[in-house]
Every structure is written in C-alpha cells, then in structure tokens.
Amino acid sequence: MEDRLGHLLRRAQAKLARKSAEALVPYGVDDRELAVLAVLADEETWSQAEAAGRLGVDRTTMVALVDGLEDHGLVERRRSPRDRRRNLVRLTDAGLVCLERAEAARRAAERRFLAPLDEQTAAALLRALRLLVAEEPAVR
C-alpha cells in the first residue's frame, strides 16, 4: 500500500487534518469554519450563496456553517437592501480577530507538517498539488 498514490494522499491529508484541528481548538473553529471566515474577509460583503460558491459547498451546508459562526459572534447576516431574499454575511470584529489568530495557528501547523521536507521539496510538493487539482481546460 505504501506505493499507492491514493493511499498516501489520504494518509497525508488525514494527518494534516488532525494537526490543523488540534491547532484550531483554542479558537473555537474548525477548518471549514475557518475557510468561511477567510472567504468572507476577501470582500466587504458576500451573499451566503456567493460564499458557498467560492467554497464549493451547497447552500444548506453554508447555512449551517454561518449559523454556527453567527452563534459565536464571528459573523453577522443582514438582508440585502437590493434583494430581500438574499442574506449578506460579513465578519464581525471578533471574527476578524479569530481569523487572524486561527489562520496563523493553521499556517504554523502546516509548517510543522511539512518540516520533514526541506524548503525546496515542500515548495515543489505544493506546486505539484496545485497542478494536479487545477481545472482542466474545456475541450473544443
């Protein structure tokens, strides 16, 4: 099994997920919630649907994620003044602080995960993974 790419990728991802989860415990968010905070920080305001699209999650999942973050005072919703059916979501001040601190902890956990690799090898791994997950161009 140690020469099967899928097996190795799953084991590496599981190990990184454990390390990231441990690092995020003090901030009260998990990796998915941190991703929501990061997306919401990109712009002043996103609709829930736009943020869900950026994250690649369905709307139902997004509602649950935003509900939890809102319960913890990290995001707030408001109705769009232009379309009352749309909820706009933005980070609160507490959400921004949480994002900054939790993101620093996540990055540190990632560096620890990659520590067995020298800097050049770690950078090559990231480049290779970006290539592997890139969308294929449309066939004409």
Q: Domain with 34 in it: what CATH number? A: 1.10.10.10
What total of structural domains would you count in the chain? 1
Helix (H, G, I), strand (E, B) or coil at 88: strand
Residues near 15 by Cβ (< 8 Å), separated by ≥ 6? 113
Q: Please report whether residue 139 resides in a domain.
A: no
Answer for the pair 117, 32: CB distance below 8 angstroms, yes or no: no
CA 25 → CA 12, 123, 133, distances in Å? 20, 27, 28
Q: Which domain holds residue 101?
A: 5-131
Is residue 59 within 8 A of residue 49, CB to CB? The reply is: yes
In this structure, are residues 37 and 69 in contact, taking their beta carbons and an 8 Å threshold? Answer: yes
Determine the pLDDT at residue 45: 78
Task: Return the structure tokens found at 124.
Answer: 């090559």
Domain assignment present for 138: no
Q: The whole model's pTM is what?
A: 0.83
Question: Could you tell me if residue 136 is inside a domain?
Answer: no
Q: What pLDDT, on a 0 to 100 scale, did the predictor assign at position 138?
A: 57
Low-confidence ranges of the chain (pLDDT < 70): 43-44, 136-140
Residue 110 lies inside a defined structural domain of this protein: yes
Domain annotation covers residue 137: no
Q: Copy the structure tokens of residue 104.
A: 């620093």
Torsion sign, CA atoms 63, 68, 74, 79 = positive
Select from 75, 73, 82, 74 the least CA-distant residue to 48: 75
Per-residue model confidence (pLDDT) at position 44: 65
